[in-house]
Structure 1
Amino acid sequence: MARMESAPHDLIVAVHQGVDVSFAGLNLSTGLPPWHLESEDCDVGFTSSFEFTLRAVPNEMTRQLDADFSSKKEAWKAQLEERGASIAGSAPPLPSDKFFERIEAEVTDDLGTEYMWVGGETASLESPWEATWIYAPAPPQEAGHLVLDFIAEGLKTGHSCTLDLRS
């Protein structure tokens, strides 16, 4: 079990488009996502991975984006019923899909392990303002610390979380 060694006091690791994003959890050993084998960019030698969760803090901006999404979804449903799927097209994306695509982390440890983003999941109707990012490999047992430096729109946010892996 990892212990948080240092992090922003409120766990806010990024502010993007007027929305605070908080570090919400870590799973140090998880299976690789099924699609990693299909990616030419992913090293097939990976056998383990880890994941962390980010969550947007609800505020006026998220409420407005949710309201806009609801309106678009209702309009799409009406068109689907009236004109069919070929005319209506795909359902509108959840607003957090594009939002979380812009947030990532640079992951390092005290051993110099090279970590690679291998996938994740953004937004669902059950958790519309949550994202889980998966990196490989899982930290080696010998690693003492894992550091997540957060990036929004390609720029470091200045916020990081350091986890003590020995606890």
Structure 2
Amino acid sequence: MRSWTYLHGEVWASESMPLGATVKVGVRPAYLVLGAALAPTGHHHGAAWGVGLGTAGRARGRFTPSLDLLLWWLNGDDDGVGRTQLTQLRPQLAWQLKQGGRWQLVGGPTLNLATARRTLGARPRWHVGQDQWLWFESLDDQPLLRLWPGVQLGLRF
């Protein structure tokens, strides 16, 4: 039964949020993710809070795959924009530093979707994701949308 329990912490950095930490608790096939991070750079400051769900595969040698889906609430002060939400899909691969050990390097790509509401009538100055390789952007409609790929690297324990 112990092999089914899942309790891990992670500290990481990404292009979307410079520093973050998550706690994952549940069972390997389905666990809850709770997170806190520094909000993106630019005109955003303060904390970002996140919640999500994830699943982890069985370890194969030193490697363990996982998949997380998180929703973040970002604090910020962009002109003409309300509170921003960031949804992330994060397939990850962890590598044990020592065979059978608890410490793992973890990393993988992310798919980021930022959404916000316009609060003023003029075209907003929205900084979340603006310097990324945008796959999609809509600033003329409600809600405001940006979609881009990214990467995340960190340490799992």
Which structure's CA Rg is the greater one?
1
Give the TM-score normalised by the residue count of structure 1: 0.31
Give the TM-score normalised by the residue count of structure 2: 0.33
Greater RCO structure (CA 8 Å; 6+ sep) = 1
Structure number with higher helix proportion: 1
Structure number with higher strand proportion: 2
